[in-house]
Amino acid sequence: MEGSNGNKINETDSIGFQLLRGSRTGPRRGLYQTPHGSFQTPCFAPVGTLASVKGLLPTQVRETGAELILANTYHLALRPGEGIIQEAGGLHSFMDWEGPILTDSGGFQVFSLEGLRRVDDSGVYFAGSQSGKALFLDPRETLRIQRDLGSDIAMVLDECPPAGAPRKQVLEATRRTILWAKQAAEEHQKMGGASRGQAVFGIVQGGIFTDLRKECAEQITQLPFDGLAIGGVSVGEPKPEMYRVVQATTPYLPEEKIRYLMGIGDPDDLFQAVLKGIDMFDCVSPTRHGRNNLLYVPEGRLKIRNAIYKKDFRPIQEGCPCPACQRYTRAYLRHLALAKEILGGILQSLHNLTFLETLMQNLRMKIEEGQQAEALEEWFGETYPGWAHRV
């Protein structure tokens, strides 16, 4: 593999991010090294919230092309608890995943559990959820829990405001996110920084307000984080607004650090964000859609329960290497969906993950060949016509 200067890159040279091609803005090609191996960028990380990518064995997830997965600090702290996972040897051993793992901080639950939490500058108080256990998270405790979970990449605690929130609310959430980031950076350094085997990423908030995004990015990038994320997108805002926010934020992120757009999983969103300089993504959508009989195909979304597939003996997608496409027909998958057989959700989840991982592999190849945004847009329109102009 070659870097942007033409030099060969050794995957074991260092811990952290290597930018192989590209710069501050526009499509980028990179490699991130962790204690549990490396992952190539741009990449998509399947979500295993409770230390499980729903319905799938780790070997099956790996076979889709995934190199990195995500788990959730809030949910694992509640059940089974970080102490049990630490005693089991950490997340990798507990769930039998040999590759890199990123843990979210619980910041998204500040958004998604709005009626079950209280937020102030000290942290977040979550009322008892389905586990019956209340939980308090602050910037330092969040990192300590993630240290015990043993993930390769930990996220800072942030406040994610909902779409459509008034400027005053977003301003307060941005101020608090910066405050918490400073506390988290201090705690990360006290614990030994990335040299202890765990990277910590900061998060940029600011809603749809580009001036707040700029201010937050400038503050967060001054702190000694190992990577940077854009949070607070795909929370209900229109797609063009999300693209505008990403394009307005990336110029303020350092070229040499990895960029992570949180919670994004539709093919068109991944493509548009890669064009704007994003390196990594995660989302529950491919497996959630798979369990709900919605499939990604180059022509758009395929609803397998529809009657038109009753006698359709073609695969979901010609040429797709996933088990669903290699072994089964649309007619069979429709039968499984109508019969509510678990196998249908498993096969469809594998297809959707394979679709996204193949998209990422193809983008990496095109960027490595030196193709710029205009050429990539033409390629995407020809290869994925159903997704090329979705807004």
Of residues 179 and 235, the one with the higher pLDDT is 179
Of residues 132 and 74, the one with the higher pLDDT is 74
pTM of the model: 0.94
Pair (259, 363) in one structural domain: no
Mean pLDDT of the chain: 93
What per-residue confidence (pLDDT) applies to 110?
60
Kindly state the percentage of the chain with pLDDT values over 90. 85
Q: What is the CATH number of the domain that holds 64?
A: 3.20.20.105
User: Is residue 289 in some structural domain?
Assistant: no
Pair (261, 305) in one structural domain: no
Pair (102, 189) in one structural domain: yes
Pair (77, 214) in one structural domain: yes
User: Is residue 129 in some structural domain?
Assistant: yes
Q: Mean per-residue pLDDT for 68-80?
A: 94
Residue 131 has pLDDT above 50, yes or no: yes
Pair (254, 341) in one structural domain: no
3-state secondary structure the chain: CECCCCCECCCCCCCEEEEEECCCCCCCEEEEEECCEEEEECEEEEECCCCCCCCCCHHHHHHCCCCCEEEEHHHHHHCCCHHHHHHCCCHHHHHCCCCCEEEECCHHHHHHCHHHEEEECCEEEECCCCCCCCEEECHHHHHHHHHHHCCCEEECCCCCCCCCCCHHHHHHHHHHHHHHHHHHHHHHHHCCHHHHCCEEEEEECCCCCHHHHHHHHHHHCCCCCCEEEECCCCCCCCHHHHHHHHHHHHHHCCCCCEEEECCCCCHHHHHHHHHCCCCEEEECHHHHHHHCCEEEECCEEEECCCHHHCCCCCCCCCCCCCHHHHHCCHHHHHHHHHHCCHHHHHHHHHHHHHHHHHHHHHHHHHHHCCCCHHHHHHHHHHHCCCCCCCC
User: Is residue 4 in some structural domain?
Assistant: no
User: Is residue 293 in some structural domain?
Assistant: no
Residue 60 has pLDDT above 60, yes or no: yes
Q: Mean per-residue pLDDT for 68-88?
A: 95
Pair (315, 257) in one structural domain: no
User: Is residue 8 in some structural domain?
Assistant: no
Pair (232, 93) in one structural domain: yes
Which is catalytic among the residues 138, 268, 279, 282?
A: 282
What per-residue confidence (pLDDT) applies to 157?
96
Domain boundary among 235, 258, 283: 283
What per-residue confidence (pLDDT) applies to 128?
66
User: Is residue 141 in some structural domain?
Assistant: yes
What per-residue confidence (pLDDT) applies to 133?
76
Pair (268, 310) in one structural domain: no
Asked about 312 being catalytic, the answer comes back as no
Residue 3 has pLDDT above 60, yes or no: no
What per-residue confidence (pLDDT) applies to 126?
86
Q: Which of 261, 258, 257 is nearest to 245 (CA)?
A: 261
Residue 117 has pLDDT above 90, yes or no: no
Which is catalytic among the residues 13, 104, 138, 312?
A: 104
Pair (258, 327) in one structural domain: no
Which of 77-86, 126-135, 352-361 comes out lowest in average pLDDT?
126-135
User: Is residue 290 in some structural domain?
Assistant: no
Domains of the chain: total = 2
What per-residue confidence (pLDDT) applies to 129?
61
What per-residue confidence (pLDDT) applies to 85?
98
Residue 111 has pLDDT above 60, yes or no: no
Domain coverage including residue 327 = 299-391
Pair (260, 339) in one structural domain: no
Asked about 282 being catalytic, the answer comes back as yes
User: Is residue 20 in some structural domain?
Assistant: yes
Q: Mean per-residue pLDDT for 70-90?
A: 95
What are the tens digits of pLDDT across the range 196-241?
999 999 999 999 999 999 999 999 999 999 999 999 998 989 999 9
Domain boundary among 238, 258, 283: 283
Domain boundary among 283, 307, 339: 283
Pair (117, 167) in one structural domain: yes
Pair (265, 322) in one structural domain: no
What are the tens digits of pLDDT across the range 16-37?
999 999 999 999 999 999 999 9
Residue 182 has pLDDT above 90, yes or no: yes
